[in-house]
Amino acid sequence: MKDLIDELDATARRVGTDTLPAGAAQVVELTRTYPAEPEDVWDAITDPARIARWFLPVTGDLRLGGTYQVEGNAGGEIRACDPPRRLLVTWVMGEPDGPDDASLVEVTLSPDGDGTRLRLVHTAVVPPEFWDTYGPGAVGVGWDLAVLGLGMHLAGEEIDPAALESDPATRSAMTASAESWGQAHQASGAEPDVVARTTAATTAFYVPPDE
């Protein structure tokens, strides 16, 4: 199995702000280059059979304008689908209840040498108290694990997402991910004490102490 920390180090992270129809929004962005053709990466992120092999099962009316549901996670509407370049979906925790412009996830693919550069941007209106408690790592750690799992899948590794989540090495990876999002948060202008507090809260959420 690939070294999970090395895999995390292959991803660049950015934290920012934007505006959605629903209001002021927070932005987390991940960028990673994979040694695979854009068509292969696109197929891996849009074919439900392949998605289940590195992320979670997904069901729904998987076409432009249709809706989707990730098992035990978010669902939403497919807003844009331009193979093999751009996918835009709403991202709503729980069963989607119609269009929701408060949380959008956009994935763009572009050729990068002999590989493919993936850029994932999650823009969401976040309750201030939630952001003040956890910062960008609340969603960033989850996206890090998804980007990591996709890389392993594209490399031909057979993985069980549930088993990967319970692997002790994943605890170390989630801790490192939370710290990396803290660094990105500080680079965006957050005060060091805020970064320390939110990074600690995110780490405790994803990596609770062993009993």
The predicted model scores a pTM of 0.94
Instruction: State the pLDDT at residue 210.
Output: 72
| Inside any domain, residue 65 | yes
- In the structure, what pLDDT confidence band is assigned to residue 93 with cuts at 50, 70 and 90? confident
| Inside any domain, residue 211 | no
Whether residue 64 has pLDDT greater than 90: yes
| Inside any domain, residue 17 | yes
Percentage with pLDDT > 90 across the chain: 82
Provide the CATH number for the domain around residue 148.
3.30.530.20
Under 8 Å between Cβ of 159 and 146: no
| Inside any domain, residue 96 | yes
Q: Which residue has the higher pLDDT, 63 or 160?
A: 63
CB-based contacts of 165, cutoff 8 Å, min separation 6:
145
Q: What is the C-alpha separation between 115 and 183, in angstroms, rounded?
A: 27
The total of structural domains in the chain comes to 1
Q: How buried is 127 (Cβ within 10 angstroms: 0-12 exposed, 13-18 middle, 19+ buried)?
A: exposed
| Inside any domain, residue 176 | yes
| Inside any domain, residue 77 | yes
Under 8 Å between Cβ of 106 and 90: no
Reported as a single tens digit per residue, the pLDDT across 119-138 is 999 999 999 999 999 999 99
Domain that holds residue 202: 4-206
